[in-house]
Amino acid sequence: MTSRAELLARRAILRTRVRGGDARAALALARTLDRDPPRDHAAARRACELAAEAGVADAMTLLGEMLRDGRGGRRDLSRAVRWFAEAAKRGRPDAMASLAAALQHGEGAPRDRPAAVRLFRRAAVAGAVSAMHDLALCLRQGAGVERDDAAALRWLRRAATRGHAGAAYLVGQAYWWGRMGAPRDRARAAPFLLAAVRKGEARAAELAERARREVLEAAPRKTGARARTEPRGRSAAAPRR
């Protein structure tokens, strides 16, 4: 673990490099000021702006998040969208997902759900886990795209196996009740529900407790072991794009 003295010394070195025009150092400084105590969000935002204006795509994404969330200064959704768009042009999946969310909800830009779905899909294919979840919700609800429960479930499974708590809950719920075209299979639901609870998804707590009592504790040892391990692997079938 980095000590406070080491952290402050590292920040001093980064500030020296920033004064010398090092945009990557500006991004590194912004990140440590934003996330590591003692935090200074205002200074983080200033450093991030330097890096973003110098063309560092990851800084553009971080600056967009800070502007969207109001970290380090006034909230500015329009500027956040502009920076997300610049980073998305440079292929950053997280920026694509954030831009898609802005278009989906009309925050900082006119609402455009079909465009949001296209961006969610690009980000999901590129590996952004939050985009896999959000794309699945669009497919499930028919928001900006034709409703497709089977595709929604595939994307949710993919997000769940990559650690997304909300996706794990929805997959577990689908198997528990037989929704989204899934078979009603409570042994299959249990590991997803338990994984969701472990990752802090409060909505899954009641159903996970039922799964623990009705499925895992009642199942033969071999079946229970197989059920517990399923969510850790990836789905055998990749989602259709």
pLDDT tens, position by position, 95-118: 999 999 999 999 999 999 999 999
The model's pTM is 0.86
Of 163, 166, 227, nearest in space to 201 by CA: 166
User: Which contacts of 157-161 are long-range, i.e. CB under 8 A and separated by 24 or more positions?
Assistant: 157/235, 158/124, 158/132, 158/234, 158/235, 158/238, 158/239, 159/129, 159/130, 159/132, 159/133, 160/192, 160/195, 160/196, 160/231, 161/231, 161/232, 161/233, 161/234, 161/235
| pLDDT at 216 (0 to 100) | 79
Specify if 68 maps to a domain. yes
Specify if 55 maps to a domain. yes
Residues 91 and 77: beta-carbon distance below 8 Å: no
Which residue range is the domain that position 186 belongs to? Answer: 163-241
Specify if 103 maps to a domain. no
- SS3 of 184, please? coil
Specify if 158 maps to a domain. no
| pLDDT at 225 (0 to 100) | 45
Specify if 110 maps to a domain. no
Specify if 45 maps to a domain. yes
What total number of domains does the chain contain? 2
pLDDT tens, position by position, 139-160: 999 999 999 999 999 999 999 9
Specify if 13 maps to a domain. yes
Residues of the chain with pLDDT under 70: 1, 219-241
